Amino acid sequence: MTLKEIEAIPREYLIPREVAQVLGCHPHTINVVTKNGNPFPFPVIVMGTRVRIPKMPFVKFMRGEEE
């Protein structure tokens, strides 16, 4: 998945599988590292075992835009 494909997703939140492809890591890595806080420079929401990433802040981060 590319950043352009992520931008075309009609949802406001992304799942780790989508974000991991752009970041070049495994989705499980995103799930594991966010359990003890957010190490990423974009917001991550953890709800029990589910992790969601707000799409626009992630896209802005990937573009190098300031939040």
pLDDT tens sequence across 17-45: 999 999 999 999 999 999 888 889 999 99
pLDDT one-digit tens code per residue, 39-61: 899 999 999 889 999 999 999 99
Residue whose entry in the numeric block shows the structure tokens 């802040």: 57
Q: Under a CB-based contact definition with an 8 Å cutoff, are residues 47 and 36 in contact?
A: no
Q: Among 63, 58, 64, which Cα is nearest to 16's?
A: 58
Res 9 pLDDT > 70: yes
Q: Among 53, 59, 7, which Cα is nearest to 34's?
A: 53
pTM over 0.85: yes
